[in-house]
Structures are given as structure tokens and as C-alpha cells.
Amino acid sequence: MTEVPSDRPFEQLLRELTPQVLGKVVRRFHDFDAAEDAVQEALSAAAQQWKRKGMPEDPLAWLTRTAYRRMVDHIRSESARRHRQEEVSAQIAYAQQLAAADPLPEQEDTLVLLFMCCHPSLTSASAIAITLRAVGGLTTAEIAHAFLVPEATMAQRISRAKQSIRESGIQFRMPTPDERAQRLSSVLHVLYLIFNEGYTTSKGNTLGRDDLSQEAVRITRRLYALRPDEPEVVGILALMLLTDARRLARTGSQGELVPLDRQDRSLWNQPQIAEGIALTSKAMRMGSIGIYQLQAAIAALHDEAPRAEETDWPKILALYDLLRRMADNPMVNLSRAIAFAMVNGPKEGLRLLDQLEGDSRIAHRLDAARGHLLELSGDRSGAINSYRSAAAKTSNLPERDYLLLQAARLSAVPTISNSTIVSYHSE
């Protein structure tokens, strides 16, 4: 036994081991629901025993054996209830023969688990919850806290996800190349949603949830380590790193929002930016181009600019033109309109924003962008109204306070600000 590290590294270790252990148990017993419970019990036992007795030399083997024993107990219980003694005894005998060593790579189990949790048959909400629980190693309480819902609500969501996996007959196996190509978009979409919710929460008293966005980065790094040949996997990791690199500069001393053009760029994580740019270059050379590669290229242009005034907006606009051809959605169109305004003037940008009116998915961001453009075009009254309208539509407190502050500033000061337009989303 070795000394148990401090709480944070200890919790991080358990989270890293969780998908490996769960993958082993599911592969052996073919019961995701029961296996997930067994692994959670093993993790709970580790948290209690390791802190008291010290950490075993091989934590993964310890957790795997403990989870196997929990599964054996579960099978015995089921045997008594269902009168399937012969079948269950055979399973028990097989389980007891298993050693800690496993003939298949643990990383493959993690990848299979990720594809299972992000299966297209699951809703986005269910996929996010079960991914964070099974692959991320977060507790139900931690996931509930991150999404600001009661723990009981999140527990029901996770339960429904496991039920969907069971009823859909999703097998624990590596998808075929065709299946993997089909499911990869779901995997990346779930990771993207997790990161975005952590970077700018949909509601709450803080601008973001760093632990949630960092968990998305960690899982995506794992996916990249297993599939470095997938262009969009490279692209989404680059996008996350380039975006997350600005994290420390996004808020002030009181947690208030600091827009992109006013951030102290010396606070940006330069090694992370360098890594993200290198990954972006790699992704763009891999032949096929996808939506995450293009978004990474846009983020790289923002991060490479020494000052906001030196941002290469014409290149950003050209990339948004390409992105719109692949993903013609309101958020892309909103971002493109802002880039268009930076190249062609605020009035041209306002014309494009008018075409997006009425989509509730971007309601407060649309009003916020309109406020910036109206301010630059000289319409102070219109800008004030747009800022206030945007503030009323957001449930994120720092965003709301920032927007109300802009309205108050314009109400108190008769001159028009000439600040750079802020791309008001998670770039």
C-alpha cells in the first residue's frame, strides 16, 4: 500500500480509472445497468478504504476485482429471486476465474463505453448525463450541480439513459468502421455540449463551470489519444483548447464578464494556444474538413491576434462562409453576421441579424449582438433597448449584469463607444 494523495489528485485518479473499470465489467457481464452500480460501489469502497489503509500498488486491478465481486453478489441476489441457479452459478464460476490482467486494451474499453453512452438512440440530455457518469467518473450529485437541477432529477435522467441502453439492445463492442463513422458525430456533439455548458452556463450565478469544461477536455483528450487519425476529433480538441485558453481573462475579480475585445491577453494560456494551433494545423491538413476543424481555425485566428484590433476578420468571415455551408444553423449565422459587420460595417451586420429574428435558441445572443451593432452605428436608444432585452432573456447572472451595465453606460454617457464588436458567444 502507498500513501493516498490529496483529495483533488485522488478524485482525479478515480475519475480516470472509472471508464476502464466499467468497460471491463460491462464486457464481462454484458449488463451495463448492474455494472455501473457495481463500479460505483467499488469507487465508494476505494474512497473509504484507501484513505484509511493507503492506496494499493495497482489501483485499477483493485477496483476491477472489487467491482467483479459486487457483480457476483448481484448475480447471486438475482439467482435467489429468479430461480436461475444453474445459469448464474456458471457466470459466478467464470467471474471467479478472472484475474486482474485483461487481454484487451483498457483504452479500447473506454472508447467502446464512450460510443455506447453517445449512441444516437439516446437524447442529448441523456447522453450528456450518462457520459459524465460513466466516462467522466462524476457522481450524480456533481452532474446535477453542474446543470443546476435537483439530484433526484439527474438520477432519473441517468436511470432513463441506462434503461434506453438496455431496451435498445446496444451491445458493448467496438462499432464497425461504418457504425463508428455514423456515431462519431453524436460522440463529438455530446462532448461539444458538455464543454459549452461548462464554458458559459445556461443559467446560474457564475459565467461558467470550469470543472465541467475541463472534464470535457479530459475526455476529448482521451478520445484523441485513441483516434488521432480522425480529423474532427483533432479539430474538436483544438477548438476546446483554444477556447479554454482564454478562461482566466473572461471574468474580472468579482466574477463579472469581460468581453473578448477587453480581455487582458497576457492572461491567456499561451502553451495551450500553441498546442491548439498545432492541432488545428494538423486537422486542416488531414484531407476532409468538418465543422469542428473550421471552428478551431476561427478560434486560432482570435487567439493569434496580439490585440483585438489586429484580429483578421476577413479570414474569419471566409471561414464562417465555409462553416455555414456545412452547418447552416442560427448560431453559425449569428457569428457570421458579426464577422460580416466587422468587415463591411455595422449597418450591413444589422441587415443580416434581421434575417435571424424569431429563433428562441439565440434570442438573448441576437439582442446582445444587435445592441453592439446599433451602438457602433450611432443608434444609442436602440442599443439600450437591445441590451435590456438581451438581459431579460438570459438566465446567466454575469451575462445579465454585463448587458445591463452596457445599457446603463449608454444611458449615462451621451457619447458613443467605438469599442470593437464582441462576438457574443463562447469563442
Please give the average per-residue pLDDT across 89-109, as a whole number.
49
CATH number for the domain harbouring residue 372: 1.25.40.10
Q: Which amino acid, residue 142?
A: E
pLDDT confidence bin for 138, thresholds 50/70/90: confident
Instruction: Note whether residue 168 is domain-resident.
Output: yes
Q: At what angle do helices 177-199 and 106-117 cross, to 10 degrees?
A: 70
Distance CA 80, CA 285 (A): 59
Residues 150 and 215 in one domain: yes
Residues 252 and 190 in one domain: no
Instruction: Note whether residue 129 is domain-resident.
Output: yes
Structure confidence by residue, pLDDT tens digits, 295-333: 999 999 999 999 999 999 999 999 999 999 998 889 999
Residues 216 and 319 in one domain: no
Q: What is the pLDDT of residue 7?
A: 59
Instruction: Note whether residue 418 is domain-resident.
Output: no
Q: Which amino acid, residue 397?
A: L
Distance CA 14, CA 282 (A): 32
- Where a domain ends, among 199, 220, 241? 220
Instruction: Note whether residue 427 is domain-resident.
Output: no
Structure confidence by residue, pLDDT tens digits, 38-92: 888 888 888 888 878 888 888 888 998 888 888 887 777 766 555 545 555 555 4
Distance CA 204, CA 294 (A): 30
Residues 258 and 207 in one domain: no
Residues 3 and 57 in one domain: yes
All three cell numbers of 55: 492506496
Q: Residue 10 in contact with residue 49, Cβ under 8 Å?
A: no
- How many structural domains are present in the chain? 4
Asked if residue 95 has pLDDT above 80, the reply is no
The b-or-e profile of 323-348 (16+ CB within 10 A means b, else e) is beeeeeebbbbbbbbbbbbbeeebee
Site of grid cell 484513505: 51
Q: What is the pLDDT of residue 385?
A: 97
pLDDT confidence bin for 192, thresholds 50/70/90: very high
- Where a domain ends, among 103, 128, 151? 103
Please give the average per-residue pLDDT across 209-215, as a whole number.
88
> pTM of this prediction?
0.79
Residues 296 and 343 in one domain: no
- Where a domain ends, among 295, 311, 327? 311
Residues 162 and 64 in one domain: no
pLDDT confidence bin for 164, thresholds 50/70/90: confident
Residues 91 and 111 in one domain: no
Q: Residue 293 in contact with residue 284, Cβ under 8 Å?
A: yes
Nearest to 416 by CA among 346, 319, 349: 346
Residue 421: exposure state from Cβ atoms within 10 A (0-12, 13-18, ≥19): buried
Nearest to 368 by CA among 399, 345, 330: 399
Residues 131 and 90 in one domain: no
Q: What is the pLDDT of residue 18?
A: 86
Please give the average per-residue pLDDT across 347-367, as a whole number.
91
Residues 212 and 109 in one domain: yes
Instruction: Note whether residue 156 is domain-resident.
Output: yes
Instruction: Note whether residue 278 is domain-resident.
Output: yes
Mean pLDDT is lowest, of 164-178, 237-251, 352-366, for 164-178
Residues 298 and 323 in one domain: no
Q: Residue 170 in contact with residue 105, Cβ under 8 Å?
A: no
Instruction: Note whether residue 420 is domain-resident.
Output: no
Residues 249 and 272 in one domain: yes
Instruction: Note whether residue 408 is domain-resident.
Output: yes
> What range does the domain containing 33 cover?
1-103
